[in-house]
Structure 1
Amino acid sequence: MPRLPLEGIRIVDITVVWAGPYACFLLAHLGAEVIRVESIKFFQPLTRGAIPRPPKAVVQRGQPPWIWGMPNRDPGQRPWNRFPMFNAHASNKKSMTVDLRVPKGKEILARLVKISDVVIENNVTETMDKLGITYDWLRSIKPDIIFVRMPALGSTGKYANYRLLGSMNEGVAGHNTLRGYPDMDPTAVTPIYAADAASGAGAAFAVLAALHYRRRTGKGQLIELPQIENFMPYLGQAILDYTMNGRIQRTIGNRHPWAIQGVYRCKGEDRWCAITIFNDEQFQKFCQATGHPEWATDPRFADAISRYKNHDELDKLIESWTILHTPYEVFHLLQRAGVPAGPVMDQRDAYNDPHLQARGFFQKAYQEDCGEHFYPGAPFTMSETPPSIRRGPVRLGEDNEYVYKTLLKVSDEEYQQLIEEGHIGMDLAPDVVA
């Protein structure tokens, strides 16, 4: 196997929930040695689970599936190793445990930082400040360290220490008011946590740039990626429309600001397809493909402006055709004609999609507390250094011996003492609650 691009780079991962762990997921797929710094004395909700030890009855009936969808709907003996959202981005990583809230724990972290290249965290700003884990402290240990901070709203300003999760990030960024149907208010919109994934990708990109800079200059640096600021460019059209035209965009459902677009009912129970028609050429192709050339000569649909004015009437005609076909029939027929279209998939469809299966996006991996399952791989391929799942989702504290004894050169006696002091373990302490 060829050497991966980031082989030899070690990353100290002090991240929580999704945004930070996803950044480390991407870097781990590029070959970096990512070591999660965790604790058996503290439980961060929504990182390795919603609660430390959920009752089986709660797991069996609980929603949503990304929280409660543990294998066989069973929490098992170590539910923190079976949490689906965590395991989706936990492959190719290592995990060690230490209590950073006590001086001994911080001393251990310092020893790890000294032999590492990057530290990444996405906690509330004051959390790291209270622990004394600052850029100045890290730089005093490793002058060329790269420190990535991913606060929700930045480390300065009046909102610096406000606590936001994905759904709040969407609200503050204005995303919620752009989604949903025109007759809905934002309370009816299901959160999709888009800012988390976007922030993870943005942070990984920033790390690559900082590593390149360090290779040229020998200098590390502090990277701050406020998740709101990272997400704002994804809403650029709406922001520009306001700054240039004074318009505040509102929800338009599945429609497009100027094209004919919708999600249409198809043959089968709760089956749908999405179709977009941008111009006259695509409309002509659509009418021919559907066997309705008369629609192309209807005065109501003579040009783009007329079609948009009569969007409701055209939608009814389109759905009178799609209802006779499955989503995949619509998809393939219109794609062959050169019209943008696609099936609306649920999780089952996406997981079993033959295209994704053929491309090897889902990869099989084993984890002792979960068994063997398919997991999402890297969202990119590389011809010379192909990424893959080299190791299944990491268990809490799985690599304690490697980190402490191999990397930090801890003696057997000191290792045993750290176990007794509650730093080292693979099971949460009995008194740990969310």
Structure 2
Amino acid sequence: MGGLDDFLEYAQHYYGVNSTMLSEEMLRIAEENLRAHIEIAKEEEEVKRLIKPLQIWITSASAPISYQLIPLLANGEVFGMTTEISIHLLDIPQFKDVLCGIVMEAEDMAFPLLRSISEHTELDKAFIQADIIIVLDDVLLNREVQSLENYIREVSEICQVYGPLIEKNAKSEVRVISSGKTFVNLKAMMIMVYGPSIKPENVIAVSSSWESAAKAMLARKLNMNVAGVKDVIVWGNITGCNYIDLSHAKLYGYDGAIWGPPNFPYPLLSVIYDSEWIHSELLSEQSSLSSRVSHCVGMLPAHAVATVLRYWYHGSPPGEIVSVGVLTKGQYCVPEGIVFSMPVRFQNGNWEVITTLETNEMTQEALGCLAHELMQEKLVALKEIKEMHPYKGDKVTSNEYLRQGMETLLTDSL
């Protein structure tokens, strides 16, 4: 009891507090307060336990991109600073040691929002209770070994396994992200084909690597901040033949002859007046860009996946155009039923294709060429045709055709 008497004397001396309560009464109140505090702590712990973290599965998780992607997902910037996540790394048994190493490193980083991270090599138990699935599977392209059609069939076989597993094990509202270096559009398409109960609007292919790299290329040319380059559109086959459309691109914060407020945009094609750069360097830069994007091993593709997920959950910047591979419904005269990169906006947890953009005749022809390639891939994957056929029987390749289209577009803009 001496301790309580000392406390009362301390309170009276320093705070002028007097109490007429008996020591026994104060002890009883203290005990009640302590019990209440313990009960509140238990309730808070129970609430925390009941809040289930987002379950994120990553396939082919031994790929280098995982080292860059996991910190981006776990630091709170993608899903929010109050959303906990659990990450599941899936790969074949021979990469189990690699997965274990990734798990240990992630655990050592002690992310407050990373509830758990685990490795998995048993395919039949994949995607259990998945909220998000990030598909990174690639095939090693070597045309000297086998034909393009054989690689397409190989991708189809992978998705023929994934589709039913996702239907069986994942949550009904699961969101599937297709990324990687090869056949990104086709993987998204085939997962929908072999997992017909998966909502088509919940499957997208990531084209942000191309979009951000193209913006950086233009920013270097114009000696400006890359954040000011907006509305560059990537059409078509993300890891195949695509078309980088600059006709709607805008520049913000460009140091030009006309001054305006921070939200004043310059149309990009009215600023690039260097015809020599347009007709030679830009097109060669795009070829170099293709090589850089396809050989990126970590930061760029990881940033692209994280950016798309952040937009999907929290919305894309108001008024901006984002390029994403989605299932077509006839927009811009692109045939229905293929996954095609096109302009979208994210809002309220959903996305919608922006259908109000004007396209000239050359762009429309380019989209037809790109759609043909993707349709051919789909037919080969479904074994409806044995080999791919060129667009309209032209002798000009798709890349050469799109090169001609870009030259025409840029010439018309001068």
Shorter-chain TM range is under 0.3
TM-score norm. by structure 2 comes to 0.28
TM-score norm. by structure 1 comes to 0.27
Q: Which fold has the larger relative contact order, with Cα–Cα distance below 8 Å and residues 6 or more apart in sequence? A: 1
Greater share of helix: 2
